[in-house]
Structures are given as structure tokens and as C-alpha cells.
């Protein structure tokens, strides 16, 4: 693993580390005030670009980074799903 892979992992870890907290906050509050679905979709698009970069690079030694991207994408997707779930409930007046 070269330094660029290490720093890429550090970036993915730092971004990915924050999502469980955001998910937990949304789940507990059952509100999505201040959340931006557009932002989350842009983040997902960025992660997709990162995966494509790993595939294009075709270095078998960095395939594991695709797994980290996929994990981060799963976290963002969970938060996005919660956004749509609770925003729909909040509009219907079913929140808290």
C-alpha cells in the first residue's frame, strides 16, 4: 500500500465516520430539519467516481478501497432513505 492509498483511506474513513452519527440523530429525532437530500446524492456521486477511479487504475492492490467506498455509500444511502421516510411522515403530521 503506497501513501496515496493510505491518504485516500483516511479521507474515506473521516467522511464515513460521521455518517453513523448523522443516521443515529435522524433516527432518534425522527425529523430531517436541516438535512439536504441533494447534498447526500452529490456525496454518493462522488463515491461512485472514486470507485470508477479505483477500477480504471486497475491496481489489484487497491481493490479493498472499493469496499470502503461501498461501505460509505451504504451509510449515506441509509441516511438518505431515513430522510425520505421521515420527511414524508413529517409532512403528514405523523412525527413525534
Burial 12-42 (b: 16+ CB within 10 A, else e): beebbeebeebbeebeeeeebeebeeeebee
pLDDT, tens digit only, all 96 positions of the chain? 788 889 999 999 999 999 999 999 999 999 998 999 999 999 999 999 999 988 887 776 677 889 999 999 999 999 999 999 999 887 777 655
Residue ranges per structural domain of the chain: 60-96
Give the pLDDT confidence score for residue 95 in this predicted structure.
54
Is the dihedral angle over the CA atoms 8, 14, 15, 19 positive or is it negative? Answer: positive
Interatomic CA distance for residues 8 and 64, integer angstroms? 11
Give the pLDDT confidence score for residue 26 in this predicted structure.
93
Give the pLDDT confidence score for residue 78 in this predicted structure.
97
pTM for the predicted model, two decimal places: 0.86
Give the pLDDT confidence score for residue 46 in this predicted structure.
96
Amino acid at each position: 500500500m503506497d501513501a496515496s492509498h493510505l491518504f485516500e483511506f483516511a479521507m474515506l474513513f473521516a467522511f464515513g465516520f460521521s455518517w453513523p452519527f448523522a443516521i443515529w440523530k435522524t433516527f432518534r429525532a425522527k425529523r430531517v430539519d436541516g438535512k439536504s437530500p441533494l447534498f447526500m446524492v452529490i456525496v454518493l456521486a462522488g463515491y461512485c467516481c472514486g470507485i470508477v477511479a479505483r477500477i480504471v487504475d486497475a491496481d489489484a492492490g487497491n481493490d479493498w478501497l472499493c469496499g470502503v467506498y461501498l461501505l460509505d455509500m451504504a451509510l449515506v444511502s441509509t441516511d438518505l432513505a431515513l430522510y425520505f421516510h421521515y420527511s414524508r411522515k413529517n409532512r403528514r403530521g405523523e412525527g413525534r
